[in-house]
Amino acid sequence: MSSEPAATEVTSCRSCAGARPRPFLSLGATPIANRLVRADALDAVDPVFPLEVGFCETCALVQLTHVLPADEIFDDDYPYFSSFSDFLVRHSEKHAIDLIASRNLGPDSLVVEVASNDGYLLKAFVERGIPVLGIEPTPGPAAAARKVGVPTREEFFGADLARQLVAEGLRADVIIANNVMAHVPDLNSFVEGFSILLKDDGIVSVENPGVGALLAHTEFDTIYHEHFCYFSTIAVDALMRRHGLELVSVTEFPELHGGTLRWRSARAGAATPEPSVAERLAAERAEGLATFDRYANFGEQVRELQEQLRTLLTDLKAQGRTIAAYGAAAKGATLLNSTGIDHTLLDFVVDKNVHKQGRYMPGARLPIVPPEVLLERQPDYLLVLVWNLKDEIIAQQAEYAARGGRFIVPVPRPVVL
């Protein structure tokens, strides 16, 4: 009954085109994590696809071993509007102010952001008189960006679009690509696009959760079908070099998305790399991020975590406790579906994003309701699926806690607070 195409198995590395990535963790067959279910579609079965990760023994890139076409994943209903995270908005504004100062940006500069979403970052440049161009393939966020004064092209970025922009007379002083590189089907075209569009003295700033933090904190729930790749600095270094770019700095943001790295690159030879590049590469090699064994060990840790969490929730339920969850994010869907947690254990999920309320988590089929419902129904326990925002959530839910509510944080190992 489903019109979904089948997943295709990866036969060679997405970055270096070398041998098939070697699998180290299977999370079973799960629904697409961001595809929330509408109330009128509850009778249909959510299609499921294999979710397995492998490691390239040639260039060290961690990647899914099965993939779906991009247009299956980013449909018009894609529910993520980034401005809803206060922390992310503050981080982005700081980033913009830093770039304007360090790159001497002015009214003759151009800042291009790939996957600019609802314009939350570029808006900070616009407000300071710096010309910008957003590139955002999803119509909802693109329209929201234009509404706040951020010119936005509704397209996917790659070498072709970069050539077209250059033909229109555009070259970028700064290209920003935050939390997008993991979603890109053709990684080499994407980075080649940077190289084409960048001015000779320009910089590319890429942010993405690092695979080192994913391993160190057992953040297996950040693995989902939309994330084709999981980057180490070692893998990014190889990718950039292939396209005439080179890393010039690496900065770590431990609090962002569970551990984000910002990699800045310039044309090879155009700038002297900061010591942070060599330091980071050495640290990652010391952590084992260039060898298969470290990843196989991570696979074992994930299976243990899942077992502990399932046991904890099943025991609480058996004692007659009520349990709800916080955060209808993709990572929540991965955690619930790969661990076998559904509506028989949890009653509902709260989320402050109005675009998600009224829908259901895929697979687990939990209704998504506004945060106010927490105080109305006062469940005994709240499983914090968006553990990266746990401090913010616990602070916001002081009243829930004051009435006896307890928080369960599942990652890096299940704890009750």
The binding site for Zn ion (CB under 5 A) comprises: 13, 15-16, 18, 56, 58-59, 61
Give the three-state DSSP class for 44: coil
Q: Kindly state the smallest distance separating residue 239's Cβ from Zn ion, in Å.
A: 9
User: Which is closer to Zn ion, CB of 58 or CB of 251?
Assistant: 58
**CA dist., res. 340 & res. 353, Å (int):** 25
User: Which is closer to Zn ion, CB of 234 or CB of 385?
Assistant: 234
User: Which is closer to Zn ion, CB of 64 or CB of 124?
Assistant: 64
Q: Kindly state the smallest distance separating residue 242's Cβ from Zn ion, in Å.
A: 10
HSE-CB for 62 with a 13 A CA cutoff: 31
Q: Kindly state the smallest distance separating residue 228's Cβ from Zn ion, in Å.
A: 13
Q: Kindly state the smallest distance separating residue 237's Cβ from Zn ion, in Å.
A: 12
Taken as a whole, the chain contains a residue count of 417
Among 215, 210, 256, smallest CA distance to 234 is for 210
**CA dist., res. 100 & res. 238, Å (int):** 28
Q: Kindly state the smallest distance separating residue 21's Cβ from Zn ion, in Å.
A: 7
**CA dist., res. 114 & res. 153, Å (int):** 10
Q: Kindly state the smallest distance separating residue 58's Cβ from Zn ion, in Å.
A: 5
Say whether the peptide bond before residue 412 is cis (omega within 30 degrees of 0). Answer: yes
**Helix or strand holding residue 259 (H, E):** none
- Which residue type occupies 83? S
Q: 3-state SS string over 45-78? A: CCCCEEEEEEECCCCCCEEECEECCHHHHCCCCC
Q: Return the structure tokens found at 213.
A: 């933090």
Q: Kindly state the smallest distance separating residue 57's Cβ from Zn ion, in Å.
A: 8
**CA dist., res. 275 & res. 183, Å (int):** 29
**CA dist., res. 314 & res. 106, Å (int):** 58
User: Which is closer to Zn ion, CB of 17 or CB of 282?
Assistant: 17
User: Which is closer to Zn ion, CB of 236 or CB of 373?
Assistant: 236
Q: Kindly state the smallest distance separating residue 365's Cβ from Zn ion, in Å.
A: 38
User: Which is closer to Zn ion, CB of 17 or CB of 143?
Assistant: 17
**CA dist., res. 282 & res. 235, Å (int):** 13
b/e per residue 174-185 (b: at least 16 CB within 10 A): bbbbbbbbbbbb
**Helix or strand holding residue 318 (H, E):** helix 292-318
User: Which is closer to Zn ion, CB of 110 or CB of 240?
Assistant: 240
User: Which is closer to Zn ion, CB of 230 or CB of 407?
Assistant: 230
**CA dist., res. 71 & res. 61, Å (int):** 23
Q: Kindly state the smallest distance separating residue 17's Cβ from Zn ion, in Å.
A: 7
What are the angstrom distances between the C-alpha of 39 and each of 347, 365, 381?
A: 16, 10, 25
Residue with tokens 């053709």: 186
User: Which is closer to Zn ion, CB of 16 or CB of 110?
Assistant: 16
